[in-house]
Amino acid sequence: MGLNEFGLFELIEMVKRGDVSPFDVANDFVAAADRWEPRIGAYIEFYAEDLLAQTRRLTEAGGYESTRFAGLPIAVKDNITVRGRHTTCGSRILAGWSSPYDATVIARLRRDGAVIAGKTNLDEFGMGSSTENSAFGPTRNPWDPTGGSIRQPAAFCGVVGMKPTYGRVSRYGLVAFASSLDQIGPIARNVRDCALVTASISGWDCADATSARVDVPDFEAAVERSPERGFMVGVPWDLLSAGMDPVVADNFKTVIGALESNGVGVVDVALLHSRYAVACYYTIANAEASSNLARFDGVKYGHRARTYDDLEAMITRTRDEGFGDEVKRRILLGTYVLSAGYYDAFYLKAQKVRSLVTADFERAFERCDAVLLPTSPTPAFRFGERTEEPLEMYLSDVFTIPANLAGLPAITLPSGLTPDGMPLGVQLIGRPFAETTVLAGAAALERMIDFKGRPGD
Partner 1 sequence: MSIDKRMIDHLETLARIEFTPSEKRLFTLQLERIVGYIKQLHQVDTETAAPAGPAHPREAEAAALDAEATPLRPDDPGTCLDRDAVLDEAPESKDHLFRVPRIIER
Residues that bind partner 1 (CB under 8 A): 97-98, 100-101, 167, 206-207, 209-214, 273, 276, 279-280, 282-283, 290, 294, 297-304, 308-317, 319-320, 323, 325, 328-329, 331-333, 335-337, 339, 342, 345-346, 349-350, 352-353, 355-356, 359, 389-391
What Rg value do the Cα atoms of the chain yield, rounded?
22
Smallest separation, CB 252 to partner 1 (Å)? 26
Return the number of the residue (310 or 420) whose C-beta is nearest partner 1: 310
Beta strands, E only, 123-257: 160-163, 187-188, 232-235
Gap between the Cα atoms of 168 and 183, Å rounded: 8
Q: Do 164 and 202 meet the contact criterion of CB atoms below 8 Å apart? A: yes
Return the number of the residue (210 or 418) whose C-beta is nearest partner 1: 210
Return the number of the residue (390 or 416) whose C-beta is nearest partner 1: 390
Residue 364 CB burial class (10 angstroms; 0-12, 13-18, ≥19): buried
Smallest separation, CB 185 to partner 1 (Å)? 19
Return the number of the residue (221 or 359) whose C-beta is nearest partner 1: 359
Nearest CA to 85 out of 149, 173, 185 is that of 173
Smallest separation, CB 387 to partner 1 (Å)? 12
Query: What's the start-to-end Cα distance of the chain, in Å?
Result: 14
Smallest separation, CB 27 to partner 1 (Å)? 32
Return the number of the residue (331 or 445) whose C-beta is nearest partner 1: 331
**SS3 label, residue 80:** strand
Smallest separation, CB 288 to partner 1 (Å)? 14
98 vs 74, 134, 162, 217, 301, CA distance in Å? 20, 18, 28, 35, 9
Smallest separation, CB 179 to partner 1 (Å)? 13
Return the number of the residue (6 or 308) whose C-beta is nearest partner 1: 308
**SS3 label, residue 338:** helix
Smallest separation, CB 210 to partner 1 (Å)? 6
Give the number of other Cβ atoms within 10 Å of residue 447's Cβ.
13
Q: Do 215 and 202 meet the contact criterion of CB atoms below 8 Å apart? A: no
Return the number of the residue (128 or 423) whose C-beta is nearest partner 1: 128
